[in-house]
Amino acid sequence: MEHNLDFGAEAQANHSLAILRAMECDDAVEPGARFAPGVFLSVDPESDTTAQLVSRPGMLADIRFTTSRPGRWLSLNIELGAFDLSARDVIGFMCKSRAEDTITFRACLRSGTEGGFQDAFFGKRVISYDAPSTHADLIKLDEREDIPATAPWRELVVFFPSDLRQLSLIDLSLFGV
């Protein structure tokens, strides 16, 4: 997957996800380390959480977490670049997942600001259980004041339960209209 032929504001994220979907790996993942371009786990440094990521062609990742001291957060972060939303009415994502234990998690669009960042959460929680399930959510941009039209950087941040043991991300995609 050496060529990025995707177009549109969400192209950077979807290309990174396509690379991950095509990878084959079984590795321990350090917090903050990119395991695909612009894709990383963020773990509260006060936690002792470790992660093992398995990826096979055709699926994103099966992630197994081990912790005896859960932190305040555990997230999958996908860098979106500057991602100009000024010509968009909607931003959304689709996720297909499976988990050994029933869990819920949330996603947000994080926009860089002069003093840090601002998170704008999608309205619905993703529910994952012991069978593949598909989730879709979107944000109508003209109804939100917490999402700047332009930002120096953005990320899609998927916040997992901090005591999560296992999650299979079968697929994930970002879209804008």
CATH code of the domain covering residue 21: 2.60.120.260
Residue 103 lies in a domain: yes
Give me the domain span that covers residue 87: 11-176
Taking the C-alpha atoms of residue 60 and residue 173, their distance in angstroms, rounded to an integer, is 11
Taking the C-alpha atoms of residue 65 and residue 93, their distance in angstroms, rounded to an integer, is 24
Residue 1 lies in a domain: no
Helix (H, G, I), strand (E, B) or coil at 168: strand
Are 148 and 116 a contacting pair, CB within 8 Å?
no
pTM of the model: 0.92
Residue 92 lies in a domain: yes
Taking the C-alpha atoms of residue 85 and residue 148, their distance in angstroms, rounded to an integer, is 8
What is the tens place of the pLDDT at every residue in 33-51? 999 999 999 999 999 999 9
Residue 6 lies in a domain: no
Residue 158 lies in a domain: yes
pLDDT at 1 over 50: no
At 4 the pLDDT is 43
What is the tens place of the pLDDT at every residue in 94-129? 999 999 999 999 999 999 999 999 999 999 999 999
Least confident range of 13-22, 68-77, 107-116? 13-22
Residue 2 lies in a domain: no
Residue 80 lies in a domain: yes
- Bigger pLDDT: 4 vs 83: 83
Taking the C-alpha atoms of residue 131 and residue 133, their distance in angstroms, rounded to an integer, is 6
Number of H helices, E strands in the chain: 1, 12
> Considering its fold, how many domains does the chain have in total?
1
Residue 3 lies in a domain: no
